Amino acid sequence: MGKPLLNITRCPTCGSKRIQWVRRNWRDDFQGKPYVVPNLEFYECPDCGEHIYDRDAMRKIEAHSPAYAKSRAQKKSA
């Protein structure tokens, strides 16, 4: 398990101190197309369900999300 770039000890949404750094497969969908980001590490608040992503997590999501497929294709054509 990696080290979080952010040091969060309290949920910014509900103030819970139970917020924790977790790693799991993260599921979402973009325009009805589901996708999975495997082994994503992020902060999760068990009290309100808030998720907080650091820079590495955002990069991982971008790498897997169809929402960013276009910019990836543009990079490849260089």
The nearest distance, CB 9 to Zn ion, in angstroms, is 12
The nearest distance, CB 21 to Zn ion, in angstroms, is 14
First to last CA, the chain: 35
Residues in contact with Zn ion, shown as a per-residue x/- string from 10 to 49 under the rule CB under 5 A:
-x-xx-x----------------------------x-xx-
16 or 65: CB nearest Zn ion: 16
Q: Please, what sign has the CA dihedral across residues 59, 63, 64, 70?
A: positive
Q: Please, what sign has the CA dihedral across residues 67, 72, 77, 78?
A: positive
Residue positions counted in the chain: 78
Q: Which stretches of the chain bind Zn ion, using CB under 5 A?
A: 11, 13-14, 16, 45, 47-48, 50
